[in-house]
A and B are shown apart, each in its own frame.
Chain A
């Protein structure tokens, strides 16, 4: 994303610190994550997104800071003068492995992208250490603070049926890592519609509309911005979902075409994902200065008219 417009009155203060043995100097307020990235030290992140305020809940980005008892989330903690940060200590690697393993043991991470796949390999993730998956899936009891008896022979998961309640996008919360991005994007970080919230608590915490009503009964305006930020494929265009169900989704056969949304004068950039001459998904670049990746229902889903073809049999 383009940096927000800023009028600087005072010269920036520079913070000097050490990351993995290298001295670094960054402007005050820079997060450890940003500083690491400027050093090309890779720090895995799951709940962090450049366009949203950090919620620091996934803990994949933890680093070790000398003098701090617990590990520290790099995504939200500003680098401080003389901090000594280590991004790959034994403790860090162990925690990262466990975070990824905990997630992989409880949700379906198969669509979380190539980076996650690589990290799982790199940190040695083995979700089967916790036993076979429980058949019944999560005990999504609406009552907070209660759960059924646990025998421990099987591992609890978030497995549950896909929610298909509208024509535009589906919600498969058995893939949800609870990164809060959809809630933030639907809320005050982008859309300001507030159709989604986190409900329940503990392992039963989940993304919900009020009283779990289907989306058409909720406040949702189908901007698709939650879909745009979801890192795991839990939220997915219905068009993509249908193709995947039919085993026809094939990114190698897809092209991406940039264009400008034809509907209004704002001028949002659209990326049309096209497979077999049909638009299957619409995104907007996150670093685009108008959209920051966010669109409205028209740009996001209003593409059907492009591919309305006259019925073949009818004469013109």
Chain B
């Protein structure tokens, strides 16, 4: 179809950035520059139209090239990909890391994203923001090619305050800094070769008794041989010897449940995909990790990337998929780079490709990066994002195991879930399930942050008491008392000091209205302003709602307004009136929203009201 395109033309650099993703146009008829003598023939080659799933990579490339997505660039993309410009605009305008509002002149743009979310608030985010305001002016107003923006959690909560510097043009790079000072930010803006990232904080590193973190600190993340010396690829070898059906049986027998938040049995999911007669199957590793307070998958990907590659290969083998995708959140440049490197090495050495480990198995992996949207961690939103659409969740059913990525049966798993599969194949399901709680087998990664002596990533068996986990991190700072703990992240709930004896397992947490979610444990001592934290969480959900369904699109706004009133001690009517209104809002979001974002958006606020953090009659001062 002839598309209506604007007269704006892409620059040569923008075209080159797009062509690097889509490959060069095969003929002037599919988006190339038409020369007069090429006009002698009209033809259209469907096969020359690049697949739509390259749209997000192309938009990211444009952002890196020009600091934004310009009208000319969208026209060029529209012509190359045979997509409507409005559609591309709608996709680009969905993502926080893509700019569609008058991108600056090429070559002169740096965006500094500063985490002001719940944990970085405790680590001095506001004082860093004040310094940046002094240097670079008001938020969102470019000065000298630099602008800064408040950002939701950047997944560096073990060492806040965290910053992501998005540099466009000649020295294009995404640079994550934590913990960041104003000088670090200035250096990352100006210096073409950014400083190396400090190693991850894994206080248990080197402990061989760990299940998931056992290789952290013992393997070189860039070296396949180092990974193999640490037992790497033994699990895939075992899997190939067992056959797909037995692998699924082992995973089922192990009792492994998903670690992405929903705790769905992994074996059941894999069997459902494997048994679908419809072909092409896909496996997807969900590395969008954007739940505030969560950083576990980042550490694993950065420090043990070959393990992710091996585990996804096993998932592909078991479910009959020949193609895997790892969807990494856009704010994790180092994780994406290390995974890409690991995949390239594995391919070189025959651990990926058309003849995996010489066994005739065909499997390969593609890394795709997000562009700033928490909702894309929801599995069906992830599919849409990967397919080059707005990250709007789909209604379920149909479930991904039947109708997933590209409409095909798909197994989507969290990174931590996948790493557990390596352990199951290494030690067998019996030994795997010997650890943990009655209702949850194995160990759990805890992203532990806030007011503890040693924030970091910890691994402990399911059923470990909350207090024991906090003790692993050295407990609270001297002289401080515990005020509350946020369990499970923004979609989780606050619990009070009386929960320290509660075992961290689903059934034990249910009576206190909590879940483990993605394994977030944020500790607040008596110095924390929790009303401020609750308000930040309410703001988060308003910002991250995809906006598709009414209960969540409007409900998250009304919730934030209500929390703002309660936090300021200025309720409309009495605090009790406000709490009644809150419960109406919460119930509608929980009952009628399309996806888990809306369904859990009131959870933390609800718990804060229960604990008296918010809404006590008389109100806080």
- Chain A: residues with CB nearer than 8 A to chain B? 56-60, 62, 70-71, 73, 76-77, 91, 94-95, 98-99, 102-103, 105-106, 129-131, 142-147, 150-156, 177-178, 187, 192, 194-205, 208-211, 213, 217-219
Residue of A nearest to B541 (CB): A202
Is B542 interfacial (CB 8 A cutoff)? yes
Contacts of B397 in A (CB 8 A): 77
B558 contacts A by Cβ under 8 Å: yes
Asked whether A151 lies within 8 Å of B564 as measured between CB atoms, the reply is yes
Contact B557 A143 (CB under 8 A): no
Residue pair A94, B588 in contact (C-beta under 8 Å) = yes
* Chain A hits for B33, CB < 8 A: none
- CB-defined A-B contacts under 8 Å, sample of 27: A56-B594, A57-B548, A59-B550, A59-B551, A59-B593, A77-B397, A98-B588, A99-B550, A99-B588, A102-B550, A102-B553, A103-B554, A130-B558, A142-B101, A145-B372, A152-B568, A156-B557, A194-B87, A197-B87, A198-B547, A203-B547, A203-B556, A210-B74, A210-B86, A217-B6, A218-B4, A218-B86
**A131 B554 Cβ-Cβ under 8 A:** no
Are B86 and A197 within 8 A (Cβ)? yes
By a CB distance below 8 angstroms, the chain B residues around A77 are: 395, 397
Q: A56-B594, A57-B594 are in contact. Are A147 and B585 (CB under 8 A)?
A: no
B539 at the interface (CB under 8 A from A): yes
Report the bound CA distance from A91 to B584 in whole Å.
Answer: 10
Top 5 nearest A-B pairs by Cβ distance?
A205-B547, A197-B90, A194-B84, A152-B564, A98-B588
Please give, as numbers and ranges, the residues of chain B lying within 8 Å of A211 by CB-CB distance: 6, 71, 74, 89, 100
Q: Which of B149, B373, B550 has the most CB of A within 10 A?
A: B550
The total of interchain contacts (Cβ-Cβ below 8 angstroms) comes to: 209
> A219, B593: Cβ atoms under 8 Å?
no
- Does B443 reach chain A (CB closer than 8 Å)? no
In this assembly, does B85 line the interface, its C-beta being within 8 Å of a C-beta of chain A?
Answer: yes
Choose among A70, A146, A201 the residue that contacts B592 (Cβ–Cβ < 8 A): A70
Chain B residues within 8 Å of A, Cβ to Cβ:
1, 3-4, 6, 71, 74, 84-90, 93-96, 98-101, 140, 149-150, 152, 372-373, 375, 390, 395, 397, 539, 542-551, 553-558, 560-565, 568, 570, 572, 581, 584-585, 587-588, 590-594, 599
Chain B residue contacts of A76, Cβ below 8 A:
395
* Residue in chain A with minimal CB distance to B92: A199
- Give the distance to chain B from A12, nearest Cβ to Cβ, in Å: 21
> Given A196-B86, A199-B90, are A143 and B543 neighbors across the interface (CB < 8 Å)?
no
Beyond A144-B96, A187-B84, A203-B554, 5 additional contacts (C-beta under 8 Å) are A106-B557, A144-B94, A150-B560, A201-B373, A204-B547
B570 surroundings in chain A (CB, below 8 A):
152-153
Of B89, B140, B563, B581, which contacts A210 at CB under 8 A? B89
A192 to B338, CA, bound (A): 42
Cross-chain contact of B591 among A95, A151, A177, A201 (Cβ < 8 A): A95
Contact B564 A202 (CB under 8 A): no
Report whether B551 and A208 are in contact in the complex, using a CB–CB cutoff of 8 Å. Answer: no
Q: Determine whether the beta carbon of B560 is less than 8 Å from that of A219.
A: no
Task: Give the docked Cα–Cα distance between A210 and B539 (Å).
Answer: 28
- Smallest CB–CB gap between A165 and chain B, Å? 15
Q: How far is the CA of A106 from the CA of B554 in the complex (A)?
A: 8
Report whether over half of chain B's contact residues are helix, strand or loop; otherwise say mixed. helix
A residues less than 8 Å from B85 (CB atoms)? 210, 219
Q: Which residues of A have CB within 8 Å of B94?
A: 144, 199-201
Set B140, B550, B560: member contacting A143, Cβ < 8 A: B140
Instruction: Report Cα–Cα, A152/B397, bound state, in Å.
Output: 37
Point out which of A73, A77, A150, A178 has the most chain B C-beta atoms below 10 A from its C-beta.
Answer: A150
Chain B residues, CB < 8 A from A130: 558, 561, 581
Q: Which of A57, A70, A209 contacts B86 (CB 8 A)?
A: A209
Across the interface, do B544 and A202 meet the contact criterion of CB distance under 8 Å? yes
Given A143-B101, A198-B390, the answer on whether A102 and B71 have CB atoms closer than 8 Å is no
A83 CA to B551 CA, complexed, in Å: 25
| CA gap between A154 and B560 in the complex, in Å | 11
Is A201 within 8 A of B547, CB to CB? yes
B1, B74, B90: the one within 8 Å of A198 (CB): B90
Q: Which residues of chain A are within 8 angstroms of B565 by Cβ–Cβ distance?
A: 151-153
Task: Tell whether, in the assembled complex, residue A102 and residue B588 are in contact, meaning their CB atoms are under 8 Å apart.
Answer: yes
Task: State in angstroms the CA–CA spacing of A15 and B190 once bound together.
Answer: 67
* Beta-carbon nearest neighbor of B543 in chain A: A145
Give Cα distance in the complex from A202 to B551, angstroms: 11
In the bound assembly, the distance between CA atoms of A198 and B98 in angstroms comes to: 16
Q: Could you say which of B395, B543, B558 has the most chain A C-beta atoms within 10 Å of its C-beta?
A: B558
Taken together as a complex, chains A and B put the C-alpha atoms of A163 and B143 apart, in Å, by 32
Q: Which B residues are CB-close (under 8 A) to A152? A: 560-565, 568, 570
When C-beta atoms are compared, the residue in chain B nearest to A209 turns out to be B86
Which of chain B's residues have a CB closer than 8 A to the CB of A187?
A: 84
Residues of A near B594 (CB, < 8 A) are 56-57, 59
A200 touches B547 (CB 8 A): yes
Q: A73-B395, A102-B550 are in contact. Are A192 and B1 (CB under 8 A)?
A: yes
Instruction: Name, among A60, A205, A213, A217, the residue most crowded by chain B CB atoms within 10 Å (CB to CB).
Output: A205
Given contacts A57-B549, A210-B6, contact A199 B89 (CB under 8 A): yes
Distance A105 CA – B550 CA, assembled complex (angstroms): 11
**Which listed residue (B150, B553, B587) contacts A205, Cβ 8 A?**
B553
